Chains A and B, each alone.
Chain A
Amino acid sequence: EAQVTQNPRYLITVTGKKLTVTCSQNMNHEYMSWYRQDPGLGLRQIYYSMNVEVTDKGDVPEGYKVSRKEKRNFPLILESPSPNQTSLYFCASSLLASGGETQYFGPGTRLLVL
């Protein structure tokens, strides 16, 4: 089944404890992206990747890191999480980086930073 998977789905952590949220897609998509969703603010892009080893900042990149060593994986790293990073996180992928391709989203990861 074609899908985007994220792990973990739910995570409670404490300030400053490094964490990684994994994202994987099995559709051979070039483009991958991370968004966060917050009440009243909608979805905002954190980072995106147009292909392997090509990443760039989105609208709200502060406090996050990403890497794209393989086409299928795009992990999101919080080196020192803070309470303002409590949010619902979505990974997404699309076939190509251009042409307005449809982005398909993972199931989301709910993160609580205490």
Chain B
Amino acid sequence: AQKVTQAQTEISVVEKEDVTLDCVYETRDTTYYLFWYKQPPSGELVFLIRRNSFDEQNEISGRYSWNFQKSTSSFNFTITASQVVDSAVYFCALTSGYSTLTFGKGTMLLVSP
């Protein structure tokens, strides 16, 4: 069975602080895919990133960066210099290709001015 754990239920930061959202996953498959989605207060789910299990390169996109470490089964997400518009619920998710997309329970990030 697959599992995704986002241990941080809520995080509050002040604008311009850096923040890291943790994601730990469990799977028995050697090929799998990890995702991050953002759910702003308006409710839609916005795709942020997809990573396959064979690509451990970290990725940076503007203020966003992702650290994938197979050794610790983690796929953490860092926002640098956070902004109020980053306030949202962030979901980490896992699939092994044909299987269901398994989501973590989400981390609510509140960035105050």
Contact = CB atoms under 8 A, between A and B. Distances in A.
B43 A43 contact: no
A48 B47 CA distance: 19
Interface string B101-112: 101111000000
B46 to A, nearest CB: 8
A100 B43 contact: no
A100 B100 contact: no
A59 interface: yes
Q: Which of B98, B101, B106 has the largest number of chain A CB atoms within 10 A?
A: B101
Interface residues of B, number: 22
A64 interface: no
Interface of A: 33, 40-45, 48, 58-59, 88, 90, 92, 97-100, 102-108, 110
Interface of B: 31-33, 35, 37, 43-45, 47, 50, 52, 91, 95-98, 100-101, 103-106
Given A42-B104, A43-B91, A97 B45 contact: no
A105 B45 contact: yes
28 contacts: A40-B105, A41-B105, A42-B104, A43-B91, A43-B103, A45-B100, A45-B101, A48-B100, A59-B100, A90-B45, A92-B45, A92-B101, A98-B98, A99-B97, A100-B32, A100-B33, A100-B95, A100-B96, A102-B35, A102-B47, A102-B50, A103-B47, A103-B101, A105-B37, A106-B44, A107-B44, A108-B45, A110-B43
